[in-house]
Structure 1
Amino acid sequence: MQLFGMSAEKGRWLLIPLSATVLLCLGTVYSWSIFRKPLEKLLNINATESLLPFTVLLVLFAVLMPITGFYINRFGTRVVTAVGGVIMGLGYILSSFNSNLQMLTLTYGVIAGIGVGIAYGVPIAVVAKWFPDKKGIAVGLTVIGFGLSPLITAPLAKSLIDSYGVRQTFVILGLAFTAIILAIATVLKTPPEDWKPAGWNPATSSQSNTSVTSLETLLQTPAFYGLWLCYTIATFSGLAAIGISSPLAQEIIKLDAATAANTVSIFAVFNALGRLFFGWFTDRFSPKSGAIISFVLFLIASLMMLKSGEGTVATYLVAFSLFYFSFGGWLAIAPTTTLILFSSADYAKNYGIVFTAYGAGALGGTLLAGRIRDIFGSYTVFFYPTTALAILGIILAVFMLKRSFSNSNVAQV
């Protein structure tokens, strides 16, 4: 079988950077903190209100993921990716006409959120099916695109806003991302049902003992709820940290806007590294161990930020690097665990259900962070609940992620 003019075993590796590029475009949502201050001034809104479009986008993103999973096989990966890219781009472009918070929430939060939700799962599903022998590392390399996006899009957005204003920036990004996603959508395809890498002989007997194929059985599995709750907690802390990183740096650490934007780019590297590291770690060891390590890092980061203040640049940099690293890790831990624990043939559907945790965490974390800032006048108080949740996450991982998982090495958790 040929792929990109090469054998499928070699050609499939090109699908990883292409899929990661699609996710890089979609991942511009993680640069939202760069837009917040200009929008607060332009629309005369407060911190809670400037987080609202971001929160709504994340919720729509999470809601559409499971729905899209049921239609990928029906309409095809290329069509679903293209439709998602066009809708996302349209949402960005329409956001340039915003005159109030309600309109911005509709165009960016709802329309762009729908587009991201439609397109996001497709590149991951494509790569997962081409790499049944290297689930963790392949998915980890792919989702790097979403996490690494702020490294490119945060300084790009800051430069465009400075040069053209926030409204024109929405237009430029919308047009560029639509064109890129449409181009890549033309080459995204899944392998035939009976395809497998040459020389790969999965341990079918052990896999059959742990695969869950029906939605009803999935929802009756204790490990599913352990995974869902852990993912919610990680998303609650991680997405809130992403949403407040730039304004927090300016208000508490007293960095200027340009430097604060640059730190977001630095953190994006750790977000990407977290996906790669935890994708490998989950494959090599177990989802349970990966979850525990991530929550320990969340705990350390939260305790550090409770001690932060004006001039504590090193504390801020280390703590938020840990937040981004640990949260990025969950974008690899969750899909890889879903692949290992449940039937890979139903991956898009199963991970869509698991991914609803992302929406729950996004809604709770971002709204609470903004509300705390408006009530207490500082984001510092937010790190008390993240400290408590990190401890809860460790407990949940120990006691609920204790089922036996199977991969090529059959790891016990």
Structure 2
Amino acid sequence: MSVQTEVSINPIQIRSAQKWQQMALGLLCMASISSPQYVWALLTKPLLERLDVHLPILQVTFSLLIIFQTFLSPLQGKLIDRFGARRLIGFGTLCTGASWVGAAYSHSLWMLYVFYGVVGGIGTGIVYIGIVGQVVRWFPEQRGFAAGMVAAGYGMGAIMTTLPISFSLNHYGLTTTLVLFGVGFAAFGGLASRGLRDAPSASPVVSYHSSAQRHYTPSQMLKQPLFWLLFFMMACMSTSGLMVTSQLANFASDVGVGQILIWGMAALPLAMSLDRLTNGLTRPLFGWVSDRIGRENTMFVAFILEAGAMTLWLAFRHDPLLFILLSGVVFLGWGEIFSLFPATLTDTFGSQHATSNYGWLYMSQGVGSILGGPLAALLYQVSHGWVPVFSLAIGLDIVTALLAITILKPWRQRFITR
């Protein structure tokens, strides 16, 4: 007599395995598009030699990359929601790779602008918005952590390519390097995107930090003043962080610590290495914290942390060891905006249109990118000192922290309850 045993498979366990698989694929896609932004500094010298132009003119390329990555995000999000994440994100990784291959054969400034700036910006924007929209749907009860993890993949992905790209530039030249890595980015990201799947449902989830009981379309969301408060707050934090981080090298040079050796390494590159690490770690860390103590409470803690670190950084700017350590704390208090704000947005306005909705909010990062660097440079030029630059950045941090706890928190609770 034979006994047949049926093995039951729990659908919840299947979904749990699938969501972690989707996060892993999202991390790979994010890593494949991180180099155009974070490795740009390595490409400027050989591009200057090839094109025979001045650095400010060449830097327009980088500005175009950021502008097309952020200001087209509402359109990119809408296309992803309409045609599906897998298809559009695959197209985005292909654009990112093609931008480097096109730049490899660009022997005029305008060709470089088009390929590296426009095509690259469109590609990276599609992937970034699409992956964030994916994970906040797959992790309805851990949105802060999930958004932070994939944002960390974008922030830290270039760590894996920085040294290989530097080696390739020194040994094989600009053209070969751009073609080799461009093809690699497209292939790596394209293969990862093939495994992306839509989340099984977009039903609201009620949790500690509250979730919307209705799914707002972008047009409905844009009519809500609460959205514009979130937009203003993210723009303030983006501007504040970029005011200081964009001027890190100049700041270190002026205070005389950039080339001082600490543990056998110059202070500036050591600080930049630590900054990249903490900028990546803070995104899942504070996202995880916000899943437990609430979005606004976490915002208040993180933004005050950055304000305090900047204050100490300015006060002890002539001490090379403290300069390094406090720069890491500054980035620890800044990078979490890329997990807290998308999670808060989806909690508030629902997950069904999460990608399109976040596309509108992500434009605030573009505002910060445009204002941060030039505003800091202008203040420094006028005042001939760093105190006004840091004072404005610290002020923006404190104002945003207070807005989070005194206005955003009660307003959002009333909005969701209503």
- TM-score of the superposition, structure 2-length normalised? 0.82
1:338 lines up with 2:355 in the alignment: no
Output the CA distance in 2 between the equivalents of 1:378 and 1:32: 28
1:268 maps to what in 2? 276
Residue 151 of structure 1 contacts residue 266 of structure 1 at CA under 8 Å; is this kept in 2?
A: no
Residue 336 (structure 2) aligned to one of 326, 329, 340: 329
Residue 299 of structure 2 contacts residue 401 of structure 2 at CA under 8 Å; is this kept in 1?
A: yes
Question: Which digits, 9 at most, give the CA deviation of each residue in 1:74-94, with x for residues without a partner?
Answer: 322121011111111121222
Q: How does 1:367-406 map to 2 (within 5 A)?
A: 367-369=374-376, 382-403=389-410
2:305 maps to what in 1? 297
1:233 maps to what in 2? 236
Residue 226 (structure 2) aligned to one of 217, 223, 238: 223
Closer, same or farther: CA 154–50 of 1 in aligned 2, 3 Å:
farther
1:177 maps to what in 2? 185
1:118 lines up with 2:121 in the alignment: no
1:275 CA drift (Å): 0.4
Residue 302 of structure 1 contacts residue 383 of structure 1 at CA under 8 Å; is this kept in 2?
A: yes
- Give the SS at the match of 1:333: helix
Output the CA distance in 2 between the equivalents of 1:366 and 1:314: 25
Q: Which runs of 5+ in 1 are unaligned?
A: none
Output the CA distance in 2 between the equivalents of 1:306 and 1:40: 34
1:253 lines up with 2:257 in the alignment: yes
Closer, same or farther: CA 293–371 of 1 in aligned 2, 3 Å:
same
Residue 81 of structure 1 contacts residue 185 of structure 1 at CA under 8 Å; is this kept in 2?
A: yes
Q: One-letter code of the match for 2:404?
A: A
Output the CA distance in 2 between the equivalents of 1:241 and 1:51: 18
Return 97-106 or 356-365, whichever deviates more.
97-106
Output the CA distance in 1 between the equivalents of 2:396 and 2:62: 22
1:45 maps to what in 2? 54
Residue 108 (structure 1) aligned to one of 111, 116, 119: 116
2:34 maps to what in 1? 27
Output the CA distance in 2 between the equivalents of 1:169 and 1:71: 32
Output the CA distance in 2 between the equivalents of 1:363 and 1:153: 26
- Give the SS at the match of 2:306: helix
- Give the SS at the match of 1:70: helix
Residue 155 (structure 1) aligned to one of 155, 163, 178: 163
Return 26-35 or 270-279, whichever deviates more.
26-35
1:103 CA drift (Å): 4.4
2:16 maps to what in 1? 9
Residue 241 of structure 1 contacts residue 323 of structure 1 at CA under 8 Å; is this kept in 2?
A: no
Output the CA distance in 2 between the equivalents of 1:135 and 1:243: 29
Output the CA distance in 2 between the equivalents of 1:241 and 1:377: 15
Q: One-letter code of the match for 1:170?
A: L
1:238 CA drift (Å): 2.8
Question: Which digits, 9 at most, give the CA deviation of each residue in 1:162-186, with x for residues without a partner?
Answer: 3344554333332211111111111
- Give the SS at the match of 1:159: helix
Residue 288 (structure 1) aligned to one of 277, 282, 296: 296
Residue 150 of structure 1 contacts residue 264 of structure 1 at CA under 8 Å; is this kept in 2?
A: no
2:4 maps to what in 1? none
1:303 CA drift (Å): 2.8
Residue 287 (structure 2) aligned to one of 279, 300, 304: 279
1:141 maps to what in 2? 149
Closer, same or farther: CA 325–368 of 1 in aligned 2, 3 Å:
same
1:193 maps to what in 2? 201
Closer, same or farther: CA 248–14 of 1 in aligned 2, 3 Å:
farther
Aligned residues: 398
Residue 141 of structure 2 contacts residue 291 of structure 2 at CA under 8 Å; is this kept in 1?
A: no
Closer, same or farther: CA 325–80 of 1 in aligned 2, 3 Å:
same
Closer, same or farther: CA 92–273 of 1 in aligned 2, 3 Å:
same
Q: One-letter code of the match for 1:255?
A: Q
1:333 CA drift (Å): 0.5
Q: Which runs of 5+ in 2 are unaligned?
A: 1-7
- Give the SS at the match of 2:257: coil
